[in-house]
Amino acid sequence: MGKAQSGVSTAVANLEIDLGAQLFDRSRKYLTLTDEGEALLRDALGVIRGAQRLKDRALSFCAEEDTHIRIVLDEALHPEFIEQYLRPFEEMFPFTELDIQTGIFNDVEGYVAAGKADLGLLISSGIPKRLEAYKLLSYIPFQAAASRHHPLTQKEGVSVGDLEDERQIVVTSRGEDKDTEVTHFSQKRWLIDSYAACASLVERGLGWAFFPAPLLKSALAKRDILPISLELEIREHASPLYLIRNRNRKLGRAGQWLLRNLGEYQI
């Protein structure tokens, strides 16, 4: 340590006085920590690690890293986003706080346009109307699905008439407009603003619904829900996926990394 033994002993004794606890057992030939000493050592090491994290975070700010980024995702993309982007982002920018929000259809554009989010992944029937900064990334196919035991999954080549005869559960946005990307085939409809809640109803045989293909392949794969075999003329349905941003928000290195990588997002 480069210190005389007497100096170290005095420092330890003064520390014990300041702390009001005996840190070392001096009854033996070699000093050992008391129970109190062991506990305080763990606390001290935690303080040291916390100070190092504070220093590292301050240095990251000096390197123009974002302190906080808000991103809003269409609920259909949430599982894929976590798998593809969050792990590398965490490794590269451990001190940037992420605020991840979810919405459905035009909820996403509303969050970014209102300044409640910096970036968004939007599934929409048309180009964003309230933002100038957007990029078309891909198209999201939608598939009709129902419970394994539903009449529609028992039949090949389901027609429009077959869909009209059964209750359709329609997923909508959460705003007042109740925006949706799917065609209303049936007059017997229930509207719901959550894919998870929709899946629960469908799984219980209460109706059929259109789901985004990525959701059927990931989050819904373990549920008792199957695609409906549709006639060819109604089989294809896809909606554009846009990357949108709020231009009023200046992005640092972490935000630019997200913007660049999300700009390459493909289904």
**Is 165 in the same domain as 220?**
yes
CA dihedral 128, 134, 135, 141 (to 10 degrees): -30
Do 134 and 23 sit in the same domain of this protein? no
pLDDT of 1 higher than 50:
no
| Position 190 in a domain | yes
Q: Which of the listed residues 41, 62, 83 is the one where a domain comes to its end? A: 62
Q: What is the dihedral of CA 39, 44, 45, 49, to 10 degrees?
A: 140
Contact indicator for 192, 172 with CB cutoff of 8 Å? yes
User: Are 92 and 132 in a shared domain?
Assistant: yes
By CB neighbour count within 10 A (0-12 exposed, 13-18 middle, 19+ buried), where does 214 fall?
A: buried
Residues 160 and 200 both lie in one domain: yes
Locate 203 and state its tokens: 């799984």
- The burial class, CB within 10 Å (0-12 / 13-18 / 19+), for 205 is middle
Q: What is the rounded CA–CA span in Å between residue 239 and residue 198?
A: 19
What confidence tier does 5 reach under pLDDT thresholds 50, 70, 90? Answer: low
* Any domain includes 172: yes
If one counts the domains in the chain, the total is 3
Give the model's pLDDT for residue 11: 75
Number of H helices, E strands in the chain: 9, 11
At 87 the pLDDT is 86
For residue 105, name the pLDDT band (cuts at 50, 70, 90).
confident
Looking up residue 128, the CATH number of its domain turns out to be: 3.40.190.10
Confidence label for 81 from pLDDT (cuts 50, 70 and 90): confident
Q: Could you tell me if 21 and 104 lie in one domain?
A: no
In this predicted model, what pLDDT tens digit does every residue of 58-80 receive, in sequence order?
544 554 577 889 999 998 886 66
